[in-house]
Amino acid sequence: MFHGAIVAIVTPFRNGRLDAPALKRLVEFQIRNGTSGIVPCGTTGESATLSFEEHEKVIDVVLAASGGRVPVIAGTGSNNTKEAVVLTRYAKKAGADAALIITPYYNKPTQKGLIAHFKAVADEVDIPIVLYNVPSRTGVNMTADTVARLSELKNIVGVKEASGNLTQICDILKNTSPRFCVLSGDDALYFPMLALGAKGVISVVSNVAPKEMAELYNAFVSGQTARAREIHFRLWPLMQTLFIETNPIPAKTALAMMGMIREEFRLPLCGMSDVNRKVLAKVLSALKIR
């Protein structure tokens, strides 16, 4: 259902508020450079700091700006199942193509609890759902067996897998239908996961280098594996540097350096250290990203 380089888009702010004009420009920049889809209100979009009203506004702006040219997978997860249902219901009403739902953070539910959580949302809202597993941010890992069981529900269509565990990733790919959409949630594993059978990536790096990330996918699926590997290693320093501090701090800083957005974060996130800022600037310069 979904494939290629899909951007987990940042949420630009200006004077503490959503900068809707900047967000529209970012969407256009992505589509112009070949991005296969857009995820608003994910981790990279600072979703944990958005009010319900802001969350809805970000989804609305991205949907309007994209105009149906690429799929929009709205982040609608929460550590409160009822809130996840409310947000997912809004995404459906607004016209999103799917919802990306993170495992509940902080609560640390059991695997049984994870199944009950996702089933509750899927039962309440008839929209394609992409599971999101990122244990480094949530404190809980969704196992391959749990993903396989959830994949049997008709509207759970894929997973953004960011455990970094290739054994788990192989188990997911082996134990789910070929129709189930496995997407890398880790830019560094984008190329390796394509080789294993994944359909693409939901990417932080695509915020800064959308054309190159799209080219990597296109090269791979056209059989140009050596070319895809070349792009992977050319982007490797950027893949590392965009996580030198907590995501999305480096990505938003890079976009500000490129003149795309104002360099503004919502607390508790803050600006980069001077040392890391210099490292980021050097990497961008080497890749000729302005």
Give me the average pLDDT of each 10-residue run along the chain (290 residues).
96 97 98 98 96 97 98 97 97 98 95 98 97 95 98 97 96 96 98 98 98 98 98 98 98 97 96 97 91
Q: Are strands 129-133 and 98-102 parallel, antiparallel or unpaired?
A: parallel
Q: How far apart are CA 2 and CA 183, in angstroms?
A: 8
Tokens 């280098």 belong to residue? 209
Cα dist from 182 to 49, 101, 158, 231, whole Å: 27, 14, 6, 21
**288 catalytic, yes or no?**
no
- Give the chain's domain count: 1
Q: Is residue 55 part of a domain?
A: yes
Q: Is residue 213 part of a domain?
A: yes
Q: Are strands 37-39 and 4-8 parallel, antiparallel or unpaired?
A: parallel
pLDDT of residue 1: 79
Q: Is residue 21 part of a domain?
A: yes
Contacts of 229 (CB under 8 A, 6+ apart): 191
CATH code of the domain in which 133 resides = 3.20.20.70
Domain coverage including residue 169: 4-222
Q: Is residue 9 exposed (0-12), middle (13-18) or buried (19+ Cβ within 10 Å)?
A: buried
Q: Is residue 240 part of a domain?
A: no
DSSP state of 103: P
Residue 123 tokens, joined: 């039962």
For residue 152, the Cα-to-chain-centroid distance in whole angstroms is 23
Q: Is residue 88 part of a domain?
A: yes
pLDDT of residue 289: 84
Q: Is residue 84 part of a domain?
A: yes
Q: How far apart are CA 266 and CA 63, in angstroms?
A: 23
**199 catalytic, yes or no?**
no
Residue 276, amino acid: N
Stretch (H or E) spanning 213: helix 210-221
| Annotated catalytic residue within 132, 190, 199, 252 | 132
Using alpha carbons, select from 172, 287, 181 the residue that is nearest to residue 241: 287
Q: Is residue 260 part of a domain?
A: no
Stretch (H or E) spanning 286: helix 274-286
pLDDT of residue 51: 95
| Annotated catalytic residue within 92, 160, 199, 252 | 160
Using alpha carbons, select from 136, 179, 134, 185 the residue that is nearest to residue 158: 179
Q: How far apart are CA 221 and CA 38, in angstroms?
A: 20
Q: Is residue 255 part of a domain?
A: no
Q: How far apart are CA 198 and CA 254, in angstroms?
A: 28
